[in-house]
Structure 1
Amino acid sequence: MSAMACGRRADVGPVVVSVIGSEPHVAERDRTDLSTPDRLLTDSLAEGLVRFDAVGQIEAGIAERWIVIDDGRSYIFRLRNAVWADGAPVRAREIVPLLRRQLARTARNRIEPYLTAVASVVEMTPEVIEIELARPRPDLLKLFAQPELALVRGGAAGGAGPFRRRDGARDGILLTPALDPDRDPEEERPTPEQNVLLRGERAATAILRFVERHSDLVTGGTLDDWPVLQAANPAPANVRIDPAAGLFGLAIVRRDGFLSDPDNRGAIAQAVDRADLTGSIAADWPARETILPEQLDSGAPPMVPTWATLPPEQRPAAARARVAAWRATHGSAPVLRLALPGGPGGTLLWGHLARDLYAIGVRPVRVAQDDADADLRLVDLVAPYDNARWYLAEACVACSVEARGAIEAARLADTLPQRAAAAALADRLLTQDVAFVPLSRPFRWSLVALRLRQWQPNPRAWHPLNRLRTDPN
């Protein structure tokens, strides 16, 4: 029986990858709001000092090794024998100004707010650079591995990443492995199977291409696309779900009317049947009631909200009582505008939320994700690193002055114990303020051909194109 008859793509030719989204472009100077296709292409053609491996852990990038000293106030990197896309050797004198530009407050990328402790980037030798921090941050390597900090020199393809772009592909971007300068080029000729053909396309197109065995990987899937995948009914062995770390819940955007009272905001939080919501999507998608998924670097375990101390079966009645009291005073049911994605997954989420809110007497209205008049907005973000302040800052869309002040104190803390104490206080204040309604962790899925033996689920939900297959050599 042939591999195709078994439902497998033969392990020949380039790895064909579809990323859900628009056509990818390399991020160069303007790194604001990079799409998933942009990030994946940038990570392939360029790299930062470090990068992510197949399981979301740190591996060498432009730097071959590094040390973190002075309680996380100094990072020293030794560069490897790397070359840029034009063949020129990578040297510290070029890396330093590129890094300074990437770390500048004007970079305006999604991780810039979490790099404010960086004080200087200096060249120590032609092969060694040091990043000095004003405050201790022993947990920044995962930020340095983000595609937003990939180093691009002299044009859109001018990086030192694991791939080089090749002309000639009619449908997609053809990538071929970069040659190792320490090896004989004649001995290192890449095989066709080491090449990657990358496309950015709509979820329906990408899924259909995979189901018809014309591609090897669909990546970048979210809850919004999940119903499309279920309708296509691919082989279960090909469906892979990441244990993504991050936030998935409703941020309070407006604090007026019914939402001006934290007890009323708590009624909204306790009205949602999380187990039913997550269980209807996937059996292993866990419900969450706290902002922090675990203690991380906070000085205390995640704060459990007051509303969560009630047994689940008693929560709807308690929420209805709050809404009834409001209605008795104001003469009408509260109306809340929920900003959700417009795709089929957003509709699925809306069905669950609307049912639960109607059941307690609230009239929900669905609005677009970017609607300026929304009362609550879905936050669906994968955490770039395992840091309590990231969770608290991203959840604090419209939180109390006290909670915002504690989050800022965590950013400015001069010692790790002070930072832990400030994060614990911020978690407590933000939870008591009910400024965010946690639902679960981000839902991220991929379709993976069996030929991609190195693909691994991981908390970053990140799958570098050079870590998909076992090297045939």
Structure 2
Amino acid sequence: MFAKRHAFRTPVPFRLIPLATALALAACGSPDNSALSVAVLGRSGGTSGAPFDIGESTTLAGQLLRASTTEGLVAFDEKGRVIPALADRWIVTDDGQSYIFRLRDGDWPSGEPLTAESAKKALQTALDALDGTPLARDLAGIDEIRTMAGRVVEIRLGRPMPYLLQLLAQPELGLAFKNRGAGPMRLERAGSAARLVPIDPASLGLPAVENWPQRSRRIDLRVLDGPAAVEAFNAGEVDIVMGGEIQDFPLTRSVGILRGTIQLDPVVGLFGLKVMRDKGFLADPANREALAMAIDREGLIAPFSLGGWSPTTRLVSPSLDGDLGTIGERWSEQSLDDRRAVAAARVRRWASGASGSTGERAPAPAAPAAAQPPGAAPKQATKATRGAAPAPVPPAANGPHLSIWLPAGDGSDTLFGKLAADFAAIGVHLLRSSDIEAADLRLVDDVARYPRAAWFLNRLACSDGQGLCSTEADARVKEATTATTPEERSALLTEAEAELTAANVFIPFGTPIRWSLVRGSVAGFAPNTWGWHPLMPLAWVPR
């Protein structure tokens, strides 16, 4: 009996304008028919070296390698659905607080049997390695891991976790025995590429697959920067480019209709600016709110010719499971011109008491209180670390100068230009910083691993140690972990969102943008809500 899936409302799928009707699938095979060549976008390795580390969880390449070589109790298929892995079936008790997994027959790669005890120890080791990370906070509801029989493992929860299976399928929850994972692929080095070879199930004590060598193929994985990856795709050197974000999206304009198709994932997550310090202009939540009020969110994405993108002023994507609907979009009754007029007045008030144009402020009357979401009171943020548009308002000579960090790429250049114009419209001077640690504002672009408010709030928690935060919001999230009913938990998380919104420590744009380039002949790839594309489904040879 399989656990029930919990549906949620997904964003309207992205569509390309006007490319959607022009791009066509084309059959263009890999140079080596025995392999599929995949390029993952990354900055660390470029075209030289092989920056692959199975234990690395901060890069997409590292996550793909771990998921391919060290599977967990469950895994994702190409459509983002949870499927069996080391566990071949499971049940969930009626109260939602116990998940019971029956492990598959077979062995670890060492030849030793896969047992409940060995799987329990491996799972506990994986959980311990997450200590202090946002994912550890997501998994905080796990109370105990027990062995019930030779191949049965039970995970007991202190509270229901409707998305536990999605979390257990994450690469970081892969189970290793004696520092080796059980596949489904093994890693070989091949110069600057990682060669991933599907493991014959028979070698793991599993039922044999007829004609295994003909049914499967290896995956050659390379890490390339955006221009190199798109160039390789256009030249027919790689079959798939994955891991695309907004900074490299303009490169897709070079992809011809005979080469392949651009795939966009309907993801949710955090896409906006984190406020990194509470100095000068940014010391007042009302001033930080002024920046959020000045942004034309639809205008930000207009140059990219994307339809179906969902702008939002909320920290938590709307319409997720558990959303009470009591927090709506901010400033919904004000036009962009009206919002900018309010924001510009705050800038002028600050500038009238500023000393020079360095961003530091001399004593001056308090700025107007920030507009609050329903039920929220103004809150000062806690500092965790250092940290065609309407006609612009003429900037004050001593108006604030703020710096922003964005990843390198043409898309980021476009984004910076739009943001600089939006901020100039209220008298704020925006500068681009190449030093991520020195910037006042930092782009956050992260896809949610499960669609609930807790994911968003955990990513913006004070314990993350990145930029400004709200201790009041963190307190509500902590209370929610011990809530006795789903309704109480949702209410506490809604309060946490209101507190965090009032603190104005994060300026949301909308949903993240994730894209891939896929050759028309490729099978085993599908856009999905998680933006996650495992390699093993790509290793099956199309019939």
| Greater Cα offset, 299-308 or 205-214 | 299-308
Match of 1:103 in 2: 127
The percent identity for this pair of structures is 35
Q: How does 1:221-300 map to 2 (within 5 A)?
A: 221-231=244-254, 237-284=260-307, 285-298=309-322, 300=324
Q: How does 1:13-412 map to 2 (within 5 A)?
A: 13-21=34-42, 22=45, 23-28=50-55, 33-69=57-93, 71-104=95-128, 107-155=131-179, 158-166=180-188, 169-170=190-191, 172-181=193-202, 182-184=206-208, 187-191=210-214, 194-231=217-254, 237-284=260-307, 285-298=309-322, 300-301=324-325, 303-304=327-328, 306-330=330-354, 332-368=398-434, 370-371=436-437, 373-396=438-461, 397-412=467-482
Question: What's the secondary structure of 2:516's corresponding residue?
Answer: strand
Q: 1:270 to 1:425 in 2, by over 3 A?
A: same
1:439 aligns with 2:514: no
| Greater Cα offset, 385-394 or 443-452 | 385-394
CA distance in structure 1 between the partners assigned to 2:215 and 2:83 by the alignment: 25
Contact 2:134 2:459 in 1 (8 A): no
Structure 1 position 103, deviation (Å): 1.2
Tell me the number of residue pairs that the alignment of Structure 1 and Structure 2 aligns.
Answer: 460
1:9 aligns with 2:28: yes
Question: What's the secondary structure of 1:338's corresponding residue?
Answer: strand
CA distance in structure 1 between the partners assigned to 2:168 and 2:150 by the alignment: 20
Question: What's the secondary structure of 1:329's corresponding residue?
Answer: coil
Structure-1-length-normalised TM-score: 0.89
Structure 1 position 358, deviation (Å): 1.2
Contact 2:192 2:222 in 1 (8 A): yes
CA distance in structure 2 between the partners assigned to 1:234 and 1:20 by the alignment: 22
| Greater Cα offset, 51-60 or 300-309 | 300-309
CA distance in structure 2 between the partners assigned to 1:184 and 1:41 by the alignment: 24
User: What root-mean-square deviation, in Å, do the aligned CA atoms of Structure 1 and Structure 2 show?
Assistant: 2.5
Q: Give 2:522's match in structure 1, choosing from 452, 456, 468.
A: 452
Structure 1 position 454, deviation (Å): 3.0
Q: 1:149 to 1:125 in 2, by over 3 A?
A: same
Contact 1:306 1:432 in 2 (8 A): no
CA distance in structure 2 between the partners assigned to 1:219 and 1:10 by the alignment: 17
CA distance in structure 2 between the partners assigned to 1:236 and 1:177 by the alignment: 27
Segments of structure 1 that go 5 or more residues without pairing to the other structure are 1-5
Structure 1 position 390, deviation (Å): 1.2
Deviations 1:46-95 (A, max 9, x none): 21111111111211111111122253321111111243334443221211
Contact 1:15 1:193 in 2 (8 A): no
Contact 2:185 2:199 in 1 (8 A): yes
Letter in 1 for 2:182: A
CA distance in structure 1 between the partners assigned to 2:273 and 2:229 by the alignment: 29
Q: 1:389 to 1:235 in 2, by over 3 A?
A: farther
CA distance in structure 1 between the partners assigned to 2:323 and 2:63 by the alignment: 33
Segments of structure 2 that go 5 or more residues without pairing to the other structure are 1-24, 356-397, 462-466
CA distance in structure 2 between the partners assigned to 1:439 and 1:204 by the alignment: 26
CA distance in structure 1 between the partners assigned to 2:103 and 2:334 by the alignment: 55
Question: What's the secondary structure of 2:446's corresponding residue?
Answer: strand
Contact 2:294 2:426 in 1 (8 A): yes
Structure 1 position 351, deviation (Å): 1.1
Question: What's the secondary structure of 2:176's corresponding residue?
Answer: coil
Q: 1:109 to 1:256 in 2, by over 3 A?
A: closer
Contact 2:247 2:407 in 1 (8 A): yes
CA distance in structure 1 between the partners assigned to 2:257 and 2:231 by the alignment: 9
Match of 1:3 in 2: none
CA distance in structure 2 between the partners assigned to 1:257 and 1:355 by the alignment: 21
Question: What's the secondary structure of 1:111's corresponding residue?
Answer: helix
Structure 1 position 195, deviation (Å): 2.0
CA distance in structure 1 between the partners assigned to 2:102 and 2:51 by the alignment: 31
